[in-house]
Chain A
Amino acid sequence: MSRVNLEGVSVHIPVYDANTLRLLRMPKFGRAKVGTGNVSHAGARLIIHALSNLDLALEEGDRVCVIGHNGAGKTTLLRLIAGIYPPSGGRMTIDGKVMALLGQNLSPNPDATGYENIALIANLFDWPKERLPEYIRDIEEFTELGEYLALPTRIYSAGMHARLAFAMATIQVPDVLLIDEAMGAGDAHFQLRARARIQQFISRAKIMVMASHSIDFCRAMCNKALLLAHSERVFFGDIDEGFARYAELG
């Protein structure tokens, strides 16, 4: 039974700067369109309130797209659930294996070939050895990268990285899958295939949380929307209503 439960969770990101005095001359964040209105000082240190007092309960079968302006806290939320950022306050409970796909790619070594990176990821994430050939076939088939998989991943285009990363992240069907932006780089054909793959995912009743600005992609992949503004939850629920509210925000 996988579950993500946040009760009043906040994430405060300290900004470490050797010369904090300089911050006095910084423009006020409040007036900026980008970012959160919440910045405070703790002694000489600047603290950004990237998420404030967030409640969120996700159950199996929830596929949530997180929407909001740049700097609203989307990536912070994903990093929080992934366990990369610690919560500064509140309670967070996560049951299940989390797979985070937050960067542009999932290749630990760009000089190594696609196949080598797959083998390395398999090793790092404890994929069962006996199933590796099967997984590799699956990845070959899904990514349609052909002989590119035998070339160093540093030559891949953003879209090719997206294909490979998505294939690797979903191969083991994690309990909670987190995706940030990256997938937008894929072409329409890929997005169609990604959608089909996520359908399998739903049939196994797992949780997915993704951040994206692409309305079409969100609609295709998700059944719920979480709208964030200024580090706070504005709306959580039906995806169409979520986008309507987002449009109202301007």
Chain B
Amino acid sequence: MLQAFDATTGAAMPHSGAALWLGLRTVRNLRKGLTWAWLDTVCQYRRSKIGPIWETINVLVMTLGIAVVSSAVIGGTVTNLIGYVGLGIIVWTAITSLISEGTTAFVRNRDAILSSNLSIDFYVARMSFRIFITFCHHLILYFIGVAIGLIGLHWAALLAIPGIVLLFVNGFWTITLLSLVCARYRDVELIIRNLLQLAFFVTPVFWDYRHIVSNRRFIVDYNILFYFLEIVRAPLLGEVPTAQTYIVVVSVTVVGYAMAYLVYRRMRRDLAFYV
């Protein structure tokens, strides 16, 4: 019943508490999204022997390459840098997937949106979880790093768990917001892809933010993506992220969901026309 009248809920939904109602529905739908993403992953394994591990190999190759180059350019030894760079790339891959694939969540499911009355949460949840599952594959590299002694094991690493949760909780609103906007305005997807390339160099993924010249600190301080990188990477490297980092991340979460809700209210009704 609820699913069937999604498109018209703009009118049917009671105004007050609508956001809450929407949130509850979404949470209820998350588990189904996970089931769907899981099936996607299983199929990926079926068609190529190591499935998503191909992407992990890609991450490994990138890590090795960038660690060698950045130790040559910036200084330091490869073994010292590899944990920092590797985890940086693993988290960065998740961030960029959430953003860049997020722009396509609805356009890619055009046929399904036009032919079924499934709630659109499913497409968002499916994508979030698929990126999460791939991220978990990449984390294997971290454990290998720990096993061979390249990365130390610290109690602080446990703090990475809330970090990962926060990262993907934010991924959910990002996908909702971007996929709606990008379904309507197709240029936005291309703009975002371009900006992400720049963001890779601007964000301290493969260079240490502590080495930055003091009058250019703003590059890091005003870079939201940096804080999301830090809540996962810093604990895994044995550092406790600063309170400021958590404050920024939680604020972004709140503001992000508010924005996504407003865009959803405004654009959900016409989504079938956009795709």
Q: Which residues of A line the B interface, CB within 8 A?
A: 13-14, 16, 18, 79, 82-87, 92, 94, 97-98, 100-103, 106, 108-109, 111-112, 116, 120, 123-124, 152, 180
A sample of 19 cross-chain residue pairs with beta-carbon separation below 8 angstroms, ordered by A number, consists of A14-B273, A79-B114, A83-B6, A83-B117, A84-B7, A86-B10, A86-B272, A92-B8, A97-B1, A97-B4, A100-B116, A101-B115, A103-B111, A103-B115, A108-B36, A112-B39, A123-B35, A152-B43, A180-B115
Question: B269 at interface (Cβ–Cβ under 8 A)?
Answer: yes
- CB–CB A109/B43 < 8 A: yes
Q: Name which residue of chain B comes closest to A178, CB basis.
A: B117
Interface size class of B (residues with CB under 8 A): 20 to 34
Q: Which 4 A-B pairs have the closest CB atoms?
A: A103-B115, A111-B43, A102-B115, A98-B4
> How far is it, in angstroms, between the C-alpha of A92 and the C-alpha of B32 when the chains are bound?
30
Q: Which residues of B line the A interface, CB within 8 A?
A: 1, 4-8, 10, 32, 35-36, 39-40, 42-43, 46-47, 111-118, 122, 184, 186-187, 269-270, 272-274
- CB–CB A82/B117 < 8 A: yes
| Most B CB within 10 A of own CB, among A13, A108, A152 | A108
Given contacts A16-B273, A111-B47, contact A83 B4 (CB under 8 A): yes
For B184, list chain A residues within 8 Å (CB).
16
For B270, list chain A residues within 8 Å (CB).
14, 86
For A85, list chain B residues within 8 Å (CB).
7, 272-273
For B42, list chain A residues within 8 Å (CB).
112
For A106, list chain B residues within 8 Å (CB).
116
For B112, list chain A residues within 8 Å (CB).
103, 108
State how many angstroms separate the Cβ of B32 from the closest Cβ of chain A.
Answer: 5
B36 in complex: contacting residue of A82, A98, A120, CB < 8 Å = A120
For B272, list chain A residues within 8 Å (CB).
79, 84-86
Given contacts A112-B39, A120-B35, A124-B32, contact A16 B274 (CB under 8 A): yes
For A87, list chain B residues within 8 Å (CB).
8
State how many angstroms separate the Cβ of B260 from the closest Cβ of chain A.
Answer: 20
State how many angstroms separate the Cβ of B273 from the closest Cβ of chain A.
Answer: 6
State how many angstroms separate the Cβ of B189 from the closest Cβ of chain A.
Answer: 13
B40 in complex: contacting residue of A97, A102, A109, A152, CB < 8 Å = A109
For A94, list chain B residues within 8 Å (CB).
4-5
For A120, list chain B residues within 8 Å (CB).
35-36, 39
State how many angstroms separate the Cβ of A181 from the closest Cβ of chain B.
Answer: 11
For B115, list chain A residues within 8 Å (CB).
84, 100-103, 180
A102 in complex: contacting residue of B35, B114, B273, CB < 8 Å = B114
Q: Name which residue of chain A comes closest to B122, CB basis.
A: A124
Given contacts A111-B47, A124-B32, contact A84 B39 (CB under 8 A): no
> How far is it, in angstroms, between the C-alpha of A103 and the C-alpha of B113 when the chains are bound?
10
For A86, list chain B residues within 8 Å (CB).
7-8, 10, 269-270, 272
Given contacts A86-B10, A86-B269, A100-B116, contact A123 B4 (CB under 8 A): no
> How far is it, in angstroms, between the C-alpha of A79 and the C-alpha of B111 when the chains are bound?
12
For A97, list chain B residues within 8 Å (CB).
1, 4
> How far is it, in angstroms, between the C-alpha of A87 and the C-alpha of B11 when the chains are bound?
11
B8 in complex: contacting residue of A13, A18, A83, CB < 8 Å = A83
> How far is it, in angstroms, between the C-alpha of A116 and the C-alpha of B42 when the chains are bound?
11
- CB–CB B4/A116 < 8 A: no
For A108, list chain B residues within 8 Å (CB).
36, 112
> How far is it, in angstroms, between the C-alpha of A109 and the C-alpha of B41 when the chains are bound?
11
Q: Name which residue of chain A comes closest to B28, CB basis.
A: A126
> How far is it, in angstroms, between the C-alpha of A83 and the C-alpha of B6 when the chains are bound?
7
- CB–CB B35/A84 < 8 A: no
State how many angstroms separate the Cβ of B269 from the closest Cβ of chain A.
Answer: 5
- CB–CB A100/B117 < 8 A: yes
- CB–CB B116/A109 < 8 A: no
For B1, list chain A residues within 8 Å (CB).
97
Q: Name which residue of chain B comes closest to A13, CB basis.
A: B273
State how many angstroms separate the Cβ of A5 from the closest Cβ of chain B.
Answer: 14
For B4, list chain A residues within 8 Å (CB).
82-83, 94, 97-98
For A116, list chain B residues within 8 Å (CB).
39
B5 in complex: contacting residue of A14, A16, A83, CB < 8 Å = A83
> How far is it, in angstroms, between the C-alpha of A112 and the C-alpha of B38 when the chains are bound?
11
For A82, list chain B residues within 8 Å (CB).
4, 116-117
Given contacts A18-B186, A97-B1, A111-B46, contact A124 B269 (CB under 8 A): no
